Amino acid sequence: MATHEEYYVPAQSKWPIVGSIGLLVTVFGAGTMMNNMTSGADSSLGQYVFFAGLLILIYMMFGWFSNVVSESHQGLYSAQMDRSFRMGMGWFIFSEVMFFAAFFGALFYVRTLAGPWLAGEGAKADTAMLWPEFEFVWPLLQNPDPQAYPGPTETISPWQLPLINTLLLITSSVTVTFAHHALRAGKRAALKGWLLLTVVLAVVFLTLQIAEYIHAYNDLGLTLASGIYGATFFMLTGFHGAHVLMGTIILTVMLIRVHKGHFTPDNHFGFEAASWYWHFVDVVWVGLFIFVYIF
């Protein structure tokens, strides 16, 4: 801590306000779209607002990160600054972990407590009286009220696509680590190769995941609206998939930056942050594979 280097405090920046406006426009558009969808009103205004917001956000991210990259290249950042970035990224990932924890918590709560109670276990006379025929098993194919929530006919077997996906993601965690080692050793060609391989694995994962979703919707009747199994299944794997998509974009940006000659063996926080994020996404997947697919 005893550094007496200057801590870089940027003078002014327009990106925060651009970002705030962008987020506001995005969520306003998204909300309008959803409300129209649910009420059956057909107005496309929401879509335009939503996409306008997304464009503003992309503009903001691009501008903001370019600023940071160029400041870094100008040598404005001290080791202390680097630590701030690391902490920022680390705690951000922790907050993401807690976001997933909410959904995992919901899954465990339903499976171990709420579900059995609904089927009459324990001294919960009234909940058991709601649907006397209801039996709780997991995966839940027969919902308490099958009229309102028709259940799935079948669930996804873990030992086909999900297993392949697990292997893909674990491999990609290894390849991104190899890329990191190559970067530190100054082996640029190896870095490019391993990083490219990571991105390819990620894209294959996403493609398979989409195939799985199509299969679930078309053949198994497993949908968001097919009761609590579908709800937890799609929200957990869906948010995970969204994070993989995000991670893939980040890794692709890193790949582009590597090709532009960015990063040195001892100054490459952007790359490291991307790989941390990627490992986090992998760990979440392992949790999903075990608790959503297998058990």
Partner 1 sequence: MSAVIDNHHADHAHGPAKGPMRWVLTTNHKDIGSMYLWFSFAMFLLGGTMAMVIRAELFQPGLQLVAPEFFNQMTTMHGLIMVFGAVMPAFVGLANWMIPMMIGAPDMALPRMNNFSFWLLPAAFGLLVSTLFMDGGGPNFGWTFYAPLSTTYAPPSVTFFIFAIHLAGISSIMGAINIVATIINLRAPGMTLMKMPLFVWTWLITAFLLIAVMPVLAGVVTMMLMDIHFGTSFFSAAGGGDPVMFQHIFWFFGHPEVYIMILPAFGAVSMIIPAFARKPLFGYTSMVYATAAIAFLSFVVWAHHMFTVGIPLTGELFFMYATLLIAVPTGVKVFNWVSTMFRGSLTFEAPMLFAIAFVILFTIGGFSGLMLAIAPADFQYHDTYFVVAHFHYVLVPGAIFGIFASAYYWLPKWTGFMYDEVLAKTHFWMSFVGMNLAFFPMHFIGLAGMPRRIPDYNMMFANFNMVSSVGAFMFGATQLLFLFIVIKCIRGGPKASAKPWDGAEGLEWTVPSPAPYHTFSTPPDVK
Contact between 256 and partner 1 (CB under 8 A)? no
Question: What binding mask, one character per residue, do residues 105-134 give for partner 1 by CB under 8 A, x or -?
Answer: xx--xx---xx--x---x-x--x--x----
Contact between 9 and partner 1 (CB under 8 A)? yes
Footprint of partner 1 on residues 16-35 (CB under 8 A)?
16-17, 19-21, 23-24, 27-28, 30-31, 34-35
Note whether 130 and 118 are within 8 A (CB).
Answer: yes
Note whether 172 and 201 are within 8 A (CB).
Answer: yes
CB of 274 to partner 1, least distance (A): 18
Count of positions on this chain that bind partner 1 (CB under 8 A): 74
What tokens does 14 get?
């327009």
Contact between 74 and partner 1 (CB under 8 A)? no
Contact between 80 and partner 1 (CB under 8 A)? yes
Contact between 91 and partner 1 (CB under 8 A)? yes
Question: What binding mask, one character per residue, do residues 39-58 give for partner 1 by CB under 8 A, x or -?
Answer: x-------------------
CB of 212 to partner 1, least distance (A): 18
**Of the candidates 204, 209, 214, the residue with the CA atom closest to the CA atom of residue 172:** 204
Note whether 78 and 5 are within 8 A (CB).
Answer: yes
Q: Which is nearer to partner 1, 166 or 226 (CB)?
A: 226
Rounded Cα distance, 161 and 251, in Å = 23
Q: Which is nearer to partner 1, 68 or 249 (CB)?
A: 68
Q: Which is nearer to partner 1, 48 or 159 (CB)?
A: 48
Note whether 274 and 90 are within 8 A (CB).
Answer: no
**Of the candidates 246, 256, 235, the residue with the CA atom closest to the CA atom of residue 99:** 235
**Of the candidates 248, 245, 255, 247, the residue with the CA atom closest to the CA atom of residue 182:** 255
* Residue 264 bridge partners (DSSP): 267
Contact between 217 and partner 1 (CB under 8 A)? no
Rounded Cα distance, 84 and 82, in Å = 5
Question: What binding mask, one character per residue, do residues 219-248 give for partner 1 by CB under 8 A, x or -?
Answer: ----xxx-xxxxxx-xx-------------
